[in-house]
Chain A
């Protein structure tokens, strides 16, 4: 199964862009990269996903390197409410051939006032 590696913690000033990196060097050609976040101990919340092209939605942008070995989640104007743990996830396959999410330990982002 492809694994992801993220820095354990990051700080970002309020109003600035938060750039959260993720390494997934063992990713397969058809595996998507997903990003979720978890605020306090609430259920994780979906942010964005991508395969090889850069993606943008109302929450964030996802930049995937050309070799797909790493990606960066960008929160363009971080607010205090963006303080959370951010998970970079690759979908792997179960032994029965279906897909499953593989969560790492995430990056704890702290947005500073």
Chain B
């Protein structure tokens, strides 16, 4: 089954304790992206990756890191989490958005992160 998986689905942590949220897709998609969703603000893009070893900042990258060493994986790293990073996080993938292609994005189930 074609899917995007995220782990963990729920995480409660404390300020400053480094964490990684994993994202994996099995569709051989070039493009992957991380979003955060906060009440009243919709989905905002954190980082995206056009392909292996190619990443770039989205609209709200502060406090986050990403890496793309393999095509299928795109982990989101919070080096020193703070309470304002408490949010619902979604990973998404699609065929390349580098061109004017009209490829739909497939979203993961979400990771609900609470930083105390």
Which A residues fall within an 8 A CB radius of B? 30, 32, 34, 36, 41-46, 49, 51, 87, 91, 94, 96, 98-101, 103-106
Contacts and interface: CB of A to CB of B under 8 A. Distances in A.
Contacts of A99: 97-98, 100
Interface stretch (B12-20, B44-52, B66-74, B77-85): B44-52
Contacts, number: 58
Interface of B: 4, 33, 35, 37, 40-45, 48, 50, 56, 58, 88, 90, 92, 97-98, 100, 102, 104-110, 112
B58 A44 contact: no
A32 B102 contact: yes
Contacts of A94: 48, 56, 58
Nearest to A96: B56
Given A43-B109, A98-B50, A104 B102 contact: no
Contact of B97 (A30, A41, A42, A98): A98
B90 A43 contact: yes
